Amino acid sequence: MSTNEPASGQPGLPPRMPSVSEVVGSDRPHLGRWLEDLPAGFVIDHAVTRTITESDNTLFSVMTMNPQPLHLDESFAATSEFGTRLVNSLLTLSLLIGLSVYETTHGTTVANLGFDEISFPTPVFIGDSIRAQTQVVSNRPSSSRPSQGIVVFEHRAFNQHGALVAACRRSALMRCRPE
């Protein structure tokens, strides 16, 4: 390959970006916490917040094939007890989990094992800003996987007024700190 040829090997294409493993070796970067860093009772107030836009709500509802007019039709929603569209609750749940990832499981989880006790005590509206908090409910080593363990997280989402808008428990298979 000549020095003017892109790293992709294809003339006219931009250079290929190196993979994570090429840059940092076989250890993937992470921001999440290892099993040992997540004792029961540990609480994280997540740094990242997010305002939900009309576009977010519409796109999520359409992508998930949810035609509920309470999410998509302002005229219809205006006649509801809420007087305006509600944000799709599964978008709220997804945002809650996403806001927690960097400070809990980013690069340190093996798999999500399940979700329990999902609730939406207060409606979410377009324009609401959501912040998240996580508490570790339990943490135990895996009996079948010596370098891993199971953590149960309780995630909570609050709107800009401090009202609880979503909560759930999530079980995750987590990696132990590498030796």
pLDDT in tens, 102-119: 999 998 999 999 999 999
Three-class secondary structure of residue 171 per DSSP: strand
Residue 49 lies in a domain: yes
Which CATH number goes with the domain that contains 75?
A: 3.10.129.10
pLDDT in tens, 14-73: 665 544 444 334 455 568 899 999 999 999 999 999 999 999 999 999 999 999 999 999
Residue 18 lies in a domain: no
pTM of the model: 0.82
Residue 17 lies in a domain: no
Residue 44 lies in a domain: yes
Tokens, residue 114: 């399940």
Residue 23 lies in a domain: no
Residue 26 lies in a domain: no
Phi-psi region of 9 (alpha: psi -120 to 50; beta: other; left: phi over 0): left
Residue 1 lies in a domain: no
Q: How many domains does the chain have?
A: 1
Distance (Å, rounded) from C-alpha 172 to C-alpha 149?
Answer: 8
Tokens, residue 105: 């499981």
Distance (Å, rounded) from C-alpha 11 to C-alpha 4?
Answer: 9
Q: Residue 108: its pLDDT value, please?
A: 92
Residue 12 lies in a domain: no
Range of the domain at 147: 32-175
pLDDT in tens, 63-73: 999 999 999 99
